[in-house]
Amino acid sequence: MLAKPSAYRSIAAIVVLAGFLVPAIAGAIEVKKKLDSGGGGGGPSGPAQSGPAPKNPLSPAQQKALQESVMNDSDQFLSQESEKKNSGEPYVDLEHAAFSYIPSNKDGGVIVKAKLTGTEYKAKKGAESSGKGSPTGKKRALVFDYKVEGSKIVASEPPKWEDVETAKK
């Protein structure tokens, strides 16, 4: 008999699905910019390179496999952050995390770096713990590294947390 998925897993699935639908609707993906370390050009204050964005090397089947991999691999972290919230520790809101991914070609294959970026909150204490708490002003990203093998997405490294620089106004 199948167990019902938890509310957190369902919400995480919706967030990940939305992350895939928005770029598909907009007709764009996030693209990692490369720094030109060669000579020539206008230097750091010279003209920027322009042109069309590179084509997404992931097929729709591979995008779906990536979505499922991120959803499955993030379950453990979603639970950990929920436990932190319930115990009053600072936690990252992965339920409302922004999803992005950057595919690239390396050594004849495709690798993908996927990120779930969320705001860190200081949990409320006591009976008010059902709310979000107060933001700490920090953002953190859960980073997944994958290799594309046909229509399969295989983790190449364990997921890890990164601090995200936030622009100060």
The one-letter amino acid at 21: L
pLDDT, position 13: 63
* pLDDT tens sequence across 102-112: 999 887 789 99
Residue ranges per domain, the chain? 7-30+56-164
Question: What is the phi-psi region of residue 125: left when phi exceeds 0, alpha when psi lies from -120 to 50, beta otherwise?
Answer: beta
How far apart CA 138 and CA 65 sit, in angstroms, is 30
Q: Give 52 or 43, the one with higher predicted confidence.
A: 52
> pTM for the complete prediction?
0.64
What distances in angstroms separate CA 34 from CA 57, 63, 82, one per listed residue?
17, 23, 36
| Interacting residues of 132 by C-beta distance below 8 A, sequence separation 6+ | 93, 121
* pLDDT tens sequence across 61-98: 888 999 899 999 999 999 999 999 988 899 999 999 99
